[in-house]
């Protein structure tokens, strides 16, 4: 039997849920209840629940804060969001926290509740089964000599040196002085890591390398290592047994097996020039650039063979574009977006580089749209699958046209959502988030209306006070800088108008429930 906790501040709703379900028939013990997130968390310290059914809007600690606390504390339980609050931002945030189900209180029926808790129980059972399997596999893996070899190869992949004695200890099957390098990049690795391996990177790497070993065992003198969830690297000692055609067939089989068993979409490249393994990081990076430059009409699972040694063209880092002023503190207009794409063409950017920058632009656009009531919802109605659409476009030209069209659509929606004074004020805020003196009085003066009238007008058209809007905008800008730059936390605080990083950290923790440093994106190869 499973244990369930119902977290709801409306007593009638709680009583209705408890009394409308035959919990034993559904496979659950009698439910425990709590009136808010704080009470729930205290109870969760005493009882290990399998399922948490929680409202969103509650006093003291709301449902989303409770789920964040669970995730931060690694409290393992399935979560069902139960709310009458239908705002898109709250629902989408609940889904991002990997909740199991979402039930709308005004419309739900007992059958809906039973279906949701049974789904949660099934997921719980599957999680336990996978955890047991992962534990058994991990024990075997950690005790094997392969772990030492993997660590050394990952160090080489990261650009670190290997000691002479390490080469002898690991007994590599390939030639450290002359190995052929191939990379297998997992295009949806992050997604598969969560869906198939429950976030366990060790299990992901173990599974991927075992498949590679099984498929490529006919190759003489080879090694493989997986940098989960991004890519695997294969090292070969020389020409393939059976020739180039046979080698290509094996890599095609590898792609098919990874897709069949783990739903991994891969792209692969190999250079024919042998290298010393001390240059592994350079060679792998160059082959990844080759994949970036792959023509989109070429099947992704086809092995790309580079005669000689691969060399990258244009080294691109998003932080450099941010620092260079292409993405300034204010959101770019359509003309600036067109200029960005012209610069990409001038630099002869690859398709993947263009796709990455297009994704950055789309993220900025959605941030801007979220600042205007109703605009983000309307934009999603007009273009419901924007990120998916970007991935489907096959050329840089198509990406450019689509991005500009999205930007034009959003700006049209924005212009129609507010009076001219409010539109000017919102633009003024975006340009001056770094200014400590940014406030109601300076904004009112900028749009040439009285302070009192501007305050009423702003609240009427945005649904929040000017101070609340500025604070939220600064929080969003800080999160964007944390994810896309290497700026120190005090530098980020200064860039969003807070001279005291200590004060800003406390404010962020109070509003968001965690430290800003926790959202910084990990560096990838």
> CA–CA separation, 477 vs 193, rounded Å?
29
Give the pLDDT score at 222. 82
Domain 146-306: give its CATH architecture.
2-Layer Sandwich (3.30)
> CA–CA separation, 458 vs 468, rounded Å?
11
Structure token pair of residue 350: 């690859």
Residues of the chain with CATH 1.10.10.60: 418-525
Residue 260 phi/psi, 5-degree rounding, is -65, -45
Q: 3-class DSSP state for residue 22?
A: coil
> CA–CA separation, 523 vs 110, rounded Å?
46
Pair type for strands 266-271 and 180-186: antiparallel
Give the pLDDT score at 43. 94
Q: Render each residue's pLDDT in the chain as its tens digit; 525 residues.
A: 899 999 999 999 999 999 988 999 888 999 999 999 999 999 999 999 999 999 888 888 988 899 889 988 888 899 998 877 655 566 667 666 667 788 888 888 899 999 999 998 898 888 888 877 777 776 665 556 667 778 888 888 877 776 656 666 677 788 888 888 999 999 899 999 888 888 888 889 888 988 998 888 877 778 888 888 989 999 988 666 667 788 888 888 998 899 888 889 899 988 888 888 888 888 888 888 888 776 554 566 678 887 666 654 455 555 455 444 455 444 567 788 888 888 877 766 777 778 888 888 888 788 777 766 677 888 888 888 888 888 788 777 888 889 888 888 887 887 666 577 787 888 899 889 999 989 999 998 998 888 888 888 888 777 789 999 899 889 988 988 888 788 888 899 999 999 888 888 888 888 888 888 887 754 433
> CA–CA separation, 479 vs 516, rounded Å?
7
Task: Give the CA dihedral 296, 297, 298, 299, nearest 10 degrees.
Answer: 90
A 10 A CB-CB count for 22 gives: 9
- Token match 């498949």: residue? 211
Fold of the domain spanning 4-138:
Rossmann fold (3.40.50)
- Token match 């924007």: residue? 386
Closest CA to 102 of 113, 23, 13: 113
The end-to-end CA distance of the chain, in Å, is 45
The highest-level CATH class for domain 418-525 is mainly alpha
Give the pLDDT score at 6. 95
Residues of the chain with CATH 3.30.70.270: 146-306
- Token match 């691969």: residue? 310
Residues of the chain with CATH 3.40.50.2300: 4-138
Question: Exposed, middle or buried: residue 157 (CB in 10 Å: 0-12, 13-18, 19+)?
Answer: buried
Give the pLDDT score at 283. 86
Structure token pair of residue 17: 């849920």
Structure token pair of residue 452: 């009192």
- Token match 């209180």: residue? 105
Residue 139 phi/psi, 5-degree rounding, is -60, -45
Mind giving me the DSSP string for 408-462?
Answer: HHHHHHHHTTS-HHHHHHHHHHHHTTT-TT-SHHHHHHHHTS-HHHHHHHHHHHH
């Amino acid at each position: 039997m499973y244990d369930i906790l119902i977290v709801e501040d409306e007593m009638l709703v709680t009583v209705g849920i408890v009394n409308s379900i035959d919990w034993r028939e559904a496979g659950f013990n009698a439910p425990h209840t709590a009136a808010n997130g704080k009470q729930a968390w205290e109870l969760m310290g005493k009882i290990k629940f399998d399922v948490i059914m929680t409202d969103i809007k509650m006093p003291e600690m709301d449902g989303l804060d409770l789920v964040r606390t669970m995730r931060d504390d690694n409290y393992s339980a399935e979560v069902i969001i139960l709310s009458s609050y239908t705002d898109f931002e709250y629902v989408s945030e609940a889904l991002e926290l990997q909740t199991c189900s979402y039930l709308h209180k005004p419309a739900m029926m007992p059958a809906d509740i039973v279906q949701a808790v049974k789904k949660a129980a099934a997921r719980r059972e599957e999680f336990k089964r996978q955890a047991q399997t992962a534990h058994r596999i991990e024990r075997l893996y950690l005790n094997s000599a392969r772990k030492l070899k993997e660590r050394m190869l990952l160090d080489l992949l990261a650009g670190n040196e290997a000691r002479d004695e390490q080469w002898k200890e690991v007994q590599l099957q390939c030639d450290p002085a002359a190995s052929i390098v191939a990379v297998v990049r997992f295009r949806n690795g992050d997604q598969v890591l969560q869906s198939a391996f429950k976030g366990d990177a060790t299990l992901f790497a173990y599974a991927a390398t075992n498949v590679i070993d099984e498929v490529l065992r006919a190759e003489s003198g080879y090694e493989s290592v997986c940098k989960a969830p991004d890519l695997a690297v294969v090292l070969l000692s020389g020409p393939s047994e059976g020739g180039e055609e046979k080698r290509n067939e094996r890599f095609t089989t590898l792609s098919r097996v990874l897709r069949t068993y783990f739903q991994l979409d891969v792209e692969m490249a190999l250079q024919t020039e042998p290298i010393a393994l001390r240059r592994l990081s350079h060679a792998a990076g160059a082959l990844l650039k080759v994949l970036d430059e792959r023509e989109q009409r070429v099947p992704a699972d086809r092995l790309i063979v580079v005669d000689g040694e691969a060399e990258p063209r244009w080294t691109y880092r998003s932080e450099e574009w941010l620092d260079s002023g292409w993405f300034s503190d204010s959101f770019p207009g359509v003309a600036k977006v067109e200029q960005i794409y012209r610069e990409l063409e001038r630099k002869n950017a690859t398709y993947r580089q263009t796709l990455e920058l297009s994704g950055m632009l789309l993220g900025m656009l959605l941030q801007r749209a979220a600042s205007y009531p109703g605009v983000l919802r309307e934009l999603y109605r007009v273009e419901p699958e924007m990120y998916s659409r970007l991935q489907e476009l096959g050329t840089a030209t198509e990406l450019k046209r689509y991005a500009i069209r999205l930007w034009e659509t959003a700006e049209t929606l924005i212009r129609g959502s507010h009076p001219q004074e409010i539109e000017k004020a919102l633009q003024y805020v975006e340009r001056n988030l770094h200014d400590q003196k940014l406030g109601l009085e300076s904004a009112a003066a900028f749009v040439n209306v009285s302070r009192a009238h501007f305050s009423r007008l702003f609240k009427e058209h945005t649904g929040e006070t000017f101070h609340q809007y500025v604070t939220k905008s600064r929080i969003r800008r800080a999160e964007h800088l944390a994810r896309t730059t290497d700026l120190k936390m005090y530098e980020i605080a200064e860039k969003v108008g807070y001279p005291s990083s200590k004060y800003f950290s406390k404010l962020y923790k109070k509003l968001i429930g965690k430290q800003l440093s926790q959202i910084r994106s990990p560096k990838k190869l």
